[in-house]
Homo-oligomer: A and B are copies of this chain.
């Protein structure tokens, strides 16, 4: 009722379930993260054989999407050597500039959180992230 977060536990659980189902369909074990609109951890789930190194990536992809209100992949267009904002991924405690992070928006278009997925190829990560966002909408 008076939840601090626009993203309720029920919604977040539904999103995690959708993500795990999508990952299972791809046959890849993933790390799935959901952050709130202030980039604080809301829910996290590691599937049985997901890489340890993907935990941090899932969290930072979601963080990237909250902090700049964009899919994490969009950061990749400006952060390579020679790009406009080379090195921006080293700000904010570390961001990730490839796919797998997607922002979550409310009906007014405001960012209320983000999902971050890591464990497969970037394409697979994005597919699972999209499944999670779809379960929210």
A contacts, CB < 8 Å to B: 2-5, 8-9, 20, 36-49, 51-57, 60, 64, 66-69, 76, 79-82, 84-98, 108-111, 121-122
Q: A78 to chain B: closest CB distance in Å?
A: 9
Q: How far is the CA of A40 from the CA of B56 in the complex (A)?
A: 10
Q: How far is the CA of A94 from the CA of B92 in the complex (A)?
A: 9
Residues of B within 8 A of A45 (CB): 9, 43-44
Chain B's closest residue to A82 (CB) is B80
Does B80 lie within 8 Å of A76, measured CB to CB? no
Does A111 lie within 8 Å of B4, measured CB to CB? yes
Describe A's contact surface by its main secondary structure.
loop
Copies of this protein chain in the complex? 4
Partner of A40, one of B47, B55, B89: B55
Residues of B within 8 A of A38 (CB): 36-40, 52
Partner of A51, one of B3, B36, B67, B84: B67
Does B9 lie within 8 Å of A56, measured CB to CB? no
Does B95 lie within 8 Å of A53, measured CB to CB? yes
Q: How far is the CA of A38 from the CA of B88 in the complex (A)?
A: 22
Q: A7 to chain B: closest CB distance in Å?
A: 9
Chain B's closest residue to A43 (CB) is B45
Residues of B within 8 A of A108 (CB): 2
